Amino acid sequence: MAWEVVIGLETHTQLSTASKIFSGASTTFGAPPNTQASAVDIALPGVLPVLNRGAVERAIRFGLAVDGAINRRSVFARKNYFYPDLPKGYQISQYEIPVVKGGVLTIATDHGEKTIRLTRAHLEEDAGKSLHEGLPAAVGDVSGIDLNRAGTPLLEIVSEPDLRSSAEAVAYAKKLHALVMWIGICDGNMQEGSFRCDANVSVRREGAPLGTRCEIKNLNSFRFMQQAIDFEVRRQIELIDDGGTVVQETRLYDPERNETRPMRGKEDAQDYRYFPDPDLPPLVIDDAWIARVRSEMPELPEAMRARLVAAHGIGDYDAAQLTSSLALARYYDDTVAALPATDAPACKLVANWVLGEVSAAANRAATTLADAPLQPRDLAGLLRRVADGTLSGAMAREVFGAMWSAAGTAAGDADAIIAARGLRQVSDTGAIEALVDGVIAAHPAIVAEFRAGKEKAFNALVGHVMKASKGSANPAEVNAVLRRRLA
Amino acid sequence: MRTVAEWSAALHARTVSSVEITQDSLARIATAQPQLNAFVTVDQAGALASARAADAALARGGAAPLTGIPLAHKDVLMTAGLRTTCGSRMLEHFVAPYDADVVARLRDAGTVLVGKTNMDEFAMGSSNESSYFGAVRNPWNTACVPGGSSGGSAAAVAARLVPATTGTDTGGSIRQPAALTGICGLKPTYGVCSRYGLVAFASSLDTPGPLARDARDCALLLNAMAGHDPRDSTSLDRPPEDYTRDLDAAAPAKPLEGVRIGLPAEYFGAGVDDAVAHAVAVALAQLRALGATTVDLALPAVRHSVPVYYVIAPAEASSNLSRFDGVRYGHRAERYANLDEMYSRTRAEGFGAEVKRRILVGTYVLSHGYYDAYYLKAQQVRRLIAQDFVRAYAQCDVIAGPTTPTAAFAIGAKADDPVEMYLNDIFTVAANLTGMPAMSIPCGFTPAGLPVGLQLQGNYFAEARLLDVAHRFQQATDWHRREPPVGVAVRATAASER
């Protein structure tokens, strides 16, 4: 019987609030150590937590986006353990009653779409960081503690063990990553740790009960996630094949050796002594709050995808691509909005350009679409000239290149470039007929080949006409005239 | 040493200066310290500077009622720039960068902070014997405890070292020492006074409140201490009250006419010392003579108060005290080989026996497999106790009884028997479990000359009613004016020094 891989993901998304979840200190990344830690964050005696409603609001937004249930009353608990970067000796986290219960996320797999169930999403605070290297030599052999991150709001999103391969896990993580950025609750910056995944991995014979799982902690790139899960699956299968049993434990992935290793031993099995935090009353969310958050929600990717297919005539694949990130979707929508006509051909043109030239140029320049020199209004100016037949595809690409490099100046305007370069596609039938007649006269041999039934000869003639027009002739028109003349 | 109200009148009449009464207070503290050990820290320079500022404000006119009044805070309340020890080696040298909310409010009200009072370590105790800085002694008999955990605050008021102090009450820590030292102590409704800057012992029970000689002074202090604080999520946002509002009404012959006083059978049974029972009975007769009627009632769940309290309070404490790990502030062990050893040595050295005992109990009741049986069950019983009281207040306005089963006991008498010690809280812990207000007022003496306290409890936000009943009782009695022998001796010394 074949092995089946079972994966569930726990994702810590750092919520994009300006201040921390229980204090007024800033959440900005990268400040000098301990400059963004208030009395509450360093847990001075006598200080108390006050919940940041912005964090709650983001959690509600997420719950609505995944069609989960928003608990009208949820509870913050204390998770007790000692660690130097945990100033209070406990982490405030929702335990028994999370803010969001259930929900679903749909991913694309090789076998089509698959719905992944979410267990819950709960609010909690991040811990600080322990610094074991890079400290001044003068302080000696010690570890440093940076509490800037302590108290940063996190939404921990827990999936059911519905994922069946590392590819599915990555697809889920990417989808979730795009979604939290789409709804504006997380900046998605994985290098800075704004989006971190823990993977619970087990294997079983198909149809058998769930195997023992191992948790791989802190996967902060999609590539590492795939590699770590693949390694872990191999390890577990080999272990079982060799007659061993998988021990439930927490493991860390080492990308340099491409392997997972146990993080802490069994003897340290923790009892976190969860209990409701008496400093924080239950979090009560009323219908009016939910209604307000709902009214402020952007159109969600799935809805937009359906709209692109139904109303814009975009194909399924392109629609999925365009809605794979908020940046792409915005770029597309804004470009369409800036065009005079929004019929299906115009939309398709925009889709092709956004997914093609624009994405490629942004990739080459290593810039985001939001920072791209060519913005949707500029692109619309260019595509207007493609749609009205002024520019051929080749001309449009030339103009695009000029606009990209001259962006921000008057010279970056599509019409200005077209005028300056004299790029105007010739669609005038009379002019094209003259060109075609000239080529027919100049190349009797090719004409003869065509007439003898060699279709390829026709293309050669088209090429000669285009060349004679210095690329400015409308290719469709050239084709039509040539066919007529040779008929 | 006069009362807060008397000093306030004299200060506003400019017949005495804040500097004068502050100096008098400082002299009394210095003289009494060897006998009572009521203070951990005295801030002579800061106090005199505040007193001079108060005098300037009084001279300008329009000063607040408490302007220029010397006060001391229990050493569990953070005072910016003045060390706050919680009676523990762990925080022996800790100086906070901020004021507790009640400290800031009293500072803003113009009071003069003379120092920080001794207390049971981290407010855990009923005798003030668990302080790292040594036991506090009872001014009525220095061989006896003053009660705890606000024992220093109570002894300081009883011995007339300061007119009033602050305390905190988690299971009776204001009322029990008030009773044992013959003064008034008020635990307000949970949430009326902010816990911000109060070093947490048991967060769902901790309540700051005043200790003073009479009801009026408690009301004056509470006026300044109460109020919503957005930094404490359990602080209540409600309109301000004037807690003295009923105290100045003309006193008819029967000022307590219409007041129904509930007498729970559970507070008058076995275990109450005869002398205490007698003093309380006389006080109840006095209340009836003032027009009150008494109603017998039952609070069946209240007998579970002490066990429930000694599950919930240690549970919360075990978590609250985790921050004292030696990493960022406070005591850290000198020698350790690794992180675990740093933690264990730091905490072994920094905490005393009673604190460790409660951390262990609290850790146990929260641990996996025991949580439901202990903590969860205790919280359920806690709700039953609250329901008992809510029902009772349909039949009465105030519940009265002894504050403690016995008067002050000898230092060391219960030190080896924690459970015996815990039973001292039998009448006081319920008000913390319900969050309802309660106060203790002096109502007599034992034949041995030790004060007896009468506890008055009320429904949520009934502080003004409790203070009114206490005030009418005090208009008709003079227990609250009796002075302890140490106070008399101190006064003589202080006077001769001037």
Contact predicate B176/B209, CB 8 Å = no
The token pair at B48 is 């005199």
Assess whether B17 carries a catalytic annotation: no
Check residue A70 and give its pLDDT. Answer: 98
Check residue B494 and give its pLDDT. Answer: 45
Distance in angstroms (rounded) separating the CA atoms of residues A325 and B370: 48
Distance in angstroms (rounded) separating the CA atoms of residues B116 and B78: 10
- Tokens 């921390």 belong to A20
- For residue B311, tell me if it sits in a domain: no
Distance in angstroms (rounded) separating the CA atoms of residues B492 and B446: 26
Of A381, A400, A421, which residue is a domain's last? A421
Q: Which residue has the higher pLDDT, A63 or A429?
A: A63
A407-465 pLDDT, tens digit each: 666 556 888 888 777 777 777 778 888 888 888 888 988 888 888 888 888 888 888 88
Check residue B98 and give its pLDDT. Answer: 97
C-alpha angle B267-B271-B272 in degrees, rounded to nearest 5? 60
Assess whether B187 carries a catalytic annotation: no
| Half-sphere exposure at residue B296, Cβ-oriented, CA atoms within 13 angstroms | 3
% of chain A at pLDDT higher than 70: 96
- Are residues A245 and A335 both part of a single domain? no
Distance in angstroms (rounded) separating the CA atoms of residues A158 and B332: 39
pLDDT at B160 over 70: yes
Residue contact B322–A87, C-beta within 8 A: no
What is the count of structural domains for chain A? 3
- Are residues A282 and A317 both part of a single domain? no
B293-341 pLDDT, tens digit each: 999 999 999 999 999 999 999 999 999 999 999 999 999 999 999 999 9
Show the domain range for B25.
4-253+477-497
The DSSP secondary-structure symbol of B373 reads I
Check residue A477 and give its pLDDT. Answer: 82
Task: Find the mean pLDDT for residues A290-298.
Answer: 96
Contact predicate A63/A45, CB 8 Å = no
Nearest Cα neighbor of B21 from B496, B361, B494, B427 is: B494
What is the count of structural domains for chain B? 1
When mean pLDDT is compared over A23-37, A311-325, B89-103, the highest value belongs to: B89-103
Four-residue CA torsion sign, A325, A328, A332, A334: positive
- For residue A23, tell me if it sits in a domain: yes
The DSSP secondary-structure symbol of A356 reads I
Helix (H) or strand (E) segment spanning residue A263: none
- Mean pLDDT rounded to a whole number for chain A: 91
pLDDT band at A5, cuts 50/70/90? very high
Residue contact A46–B96, C-beta within 8 A: yes
Tell me whether A291 touches chain B (CB under 8 Å).
no
Contact predicate A376/A322, CB 8 Å = no
Distance in angstroms (rounded) separating the CA atoms of residues B399 and B390: 11
Cα B50 to Cα A110, B55, B56, B109, B150: the distances in Å are: 77, 9, 10, 12, 24
A450 — phi, psi (to 5°)? -60, -45
Give which of A38, A48, A283 to mutate to test B binding, by max B Cβ within 10 Å.
A48
- For residue A60, tell me if it sits in a domain: yes
Cα B332 to Cα A97, A159, B351: the distances in Å are: 37, 42, 11
Check residue A432 and give its pLDDT. Answer: 83
Distance in angstroms (rounded) separating the CA atoms of residues B73 and B23: 17
Tell me whether A149 touches chain B (CB under 8 Å).
no
- For residue A84, tell me if it sits in a domain: yes
- For residue B142, tell me if it sits in a domain: yes
Instruction: List Cβ neighbours of A379 (8 Å cut-off, separation of 6 or more).
Output: A331, A335, A338, A350, A353, A354, A358
- For residue B434, tell me if it sits in a domain: no
pLDDT band at B492, cuts 50/70/90? very low
Residue contact A46–B78, C-beta within 8 A: yes
CATH of the domain at A447: 1.10.10.410
- Are residues A135 and A175 both part of a single domain? yes
In B, which residues are within 8 Å of A87 by CB distance?
A: 323, 327-328
Give A373-384 as a DSSP string. SS-HHHHHHHHH
Nearest Cα neighbor of A248 from A213, A210, A272 is: A213
Check residue B252 and give its pLDDT. Answer: 82
Q: Which residue of B has its CA nearest to A22?
A: B231
- Are residues A251 and A154 both part of a single domain? yes
Check residue A48 and give its pLDDT. Answer: 98
Contact predicate A55/A21, CB 8 Å = yes
Tell me whether A87 touches chain B (CB under 8 Å).
yes
- Are residues A77 and A40 both part of a single domain? yes
pLDDT at B418 over 90: no
Of A46, A80, A84, the CB nearest to B100: A46
B211 — phi, psi (to 5°)? -125, 130
pLDDT band at A96, cuts 50/70/90? very high
Q: Which residue has the higher pLDDT, B414 or A79?
A: A79
Check residue B402 and give its pLDDT. Answer: 97
- Are residues A272 and A132 both part of a single domain? yes
C-alpha angle B158-B430-B376 in degrees, rounded to nearest 5? 135
A115 — phi, psi (to 5°)? -95, 125
Question: Does the N-terminal peptide bond of residue A202 adopt cis geometry, omega within 30 degrees of 0?
Answer: no
Contact predicate B47/B22, CB 8 Å = yes
Among the ranges given (A366-375, B50-59, B103-112), the one the predictor scored with the smallest mean pLDDT: A366-375
The DSSP secondary-structure symbol of B371 reads T
Nearest Cα neighbor of A145 from A157, A160, A128, A161 is: A128
Give A182-194 as a DSSP string. HTTS----TTTTS
pLDDT at B216 over 60: yes
Contact predicate A58/A185, CB 8 Å = yes
B420-444 pLDDT, tens digit each: 788 888 999 999 999 999 999 999 9
- Are residues A245 and A194 both part of a single domain? yes
Residue contact B371–A48, C-beta within 8 A: no
Give A78-98 as a DSSP string. EEE---TT-TTSEEEEE-SS-
% of chain A at pLDDT higher than 90: 66
Show the domain range for A447.
429-486
Four-residue CA torsion sign, A388, A393, A397, A399: negative
Distance in angstroms (rounded) separating the CA atoms of residues A105 and A62: 11
Distance in angstroms (rounded) separating the CA atoms of residues A122 and B286: 58
Check residue A253 and give its pLDDT. Answer: 94
In A, which residues are within 8 Å of B94 by CB distance?
A: 45
Distance in angstroms (rounded) separating the CA atoms of residues A307 and B40: 72
Check residue B497 and give its pLDDT. Answer: 40
- Are residues A173 and A311 both part of a single domain? no
- Are residues A126 and A273 both part of a single domain? yes
Contact predicate B220/B255, CB 8 Å = no
- Tokens 């100016």 belong to A381
Contact predicate B469/B259, CB 8 Å = yes
Maximum separation of any 2 CA atoms in chain B, in Å: 74
- Are residues A269 and A122 both part of a single domain? yes
Q: Which residue has the higher pLDDT, B484 or A385?
A: B484
Task: Find the mean pLDDT for residues A41-64.
Answer: 98
A474: three-class secondary structure by DSSP: coil
Contact predicate B300/B267, CB 8 Å = no
CATH of the domain at B87: 3.90.1300.10
ipTM of predicted assembly, 2 dp: 0.95
Radius of gyration of chain B (CA): 21
pLDDT band at A23, cuts 50/70/90? very high
Helix (H) or strand (E) segment spanning residue B146: none
Distance in angstroms (rounded) separating the CA atoms of residues B430 and B441: 17
Residue contact B322–A88, C-beta within 8 A: yes
- For residue A294, tell me if it sits in a domain: no
- For residue A63, tell me if it sits in a domain: yes
Nearest Cα neighbor of A27 from A13, A17, A39 is: A17
Q: Which residue has the higher pLDDT, B236 or A432?
A: B236
Choice among B8, B74, B88, B153 that is catalytic: B74
Give A149-171 as a DSSP string. STT-EEEEEEE-S-B-SHHHHHH
Torsion of CA A385, A389, A391, A393, to 10 degrees: 110
Check residue A269 and give its pLDDT. Answer: 65
Query: What pTM does this model have?
Result: 0.90
A26-42 pLDDT, tens digit each: 999 889 999 999 999 99
When mean pLDDT is compared over A242-246, A357-361, B385-389, the highest value belongs to: B385-389
B36-53 pLDDT, tens digit each: 999 999 999 999 999 999
Helix (H) or strand (E) segment spanning residue B86: none
- Please give, rounded to a whole number of angstroms, the shortest distance from the CA of B199 to a CA of chain A: 4
- Are residues A318 and A461 both part of a single domain? no
Four-residue CA torsion sign, B480, B484, B490, B494: positive
Nearest Cα neighbor of A166 from A203, A118, A124 is: A203
Instruction: List Cβ neighbours of B400 (8 Å cut-off, separation of 6 or more).
Output: B261, B262, B263, B280, B283, B284, B287, B294, B454, B455, B456, B457
Residue contact A43–B199, C-beta within 8 A: no
Distance in angstroms (rounded) separating the CA atoms of residues A290 and A286: 7
Nearest Cα neighbor of A143 from A218, A33, A38, A219 is: A33
> What region does B114 belong to: left with phi over 0, alpha with psi -120 to 50, or beta?
alpha
Cα A270 to Cα A150, A218, A274, B109: the distances in Å are: 21, 19, 11, 48
- Are residues A43 and A134 both part of a single domain? yes
Of A44, A49, A275, the CB nearest to B371: A275
- For residue A283, tell me if it sits in a domain: yes
Among the ranges given (A368-382, A394-408, B15-29, B215-229), the one the predictor scored with the smallest mean pLDDT: A394-408
Assess whether B74 carries a catalytic annotation: yes
| Half-sphere exposure at residue B158, Cβ-oriented, CA atoms within 13 angstroms | 38
- For residue B29, tell me if it sits in a domain: yes
Residue contact B86–A90, C-beta within 8 A: no
B9: three-class secondary structure by DSSP: helix
- Mean pLDDT rounded to a whole number for chain B: 95
- For residue A61, tell me if it sits in a domain: yes
Contact predicate A40/A237, CB 8 Å = no
Give which of B325, B338, B360 to mutate to test A binding, by max A Cβ within 10 Å.
B325
Of A257, A289, A321, which residue is a domain's last? A289
Distance in angstroms (rounded) separating the CA atoms of residues B102 and A44: 17
Torsion of CA B360, B365, B370, B375, to 10 degrees: -170
- Tokens 């000689």 belong to B213
Distance in angstroms (rounded) separating the CA atoms of residues A474 and A468: 12
Of A289, A321, A344, which residue is a domain's last? A289
Which amino acid makes up residue B125? Answer: G
Cα A318 to Cα A156, A174, A328, A336, A386: the distances in Å are: 31, 17, 11, 15, 20
Residue contact A43–B328, C-beta within 8 A: yes
Check residue A267 and give its pLDDT. Answer: 47
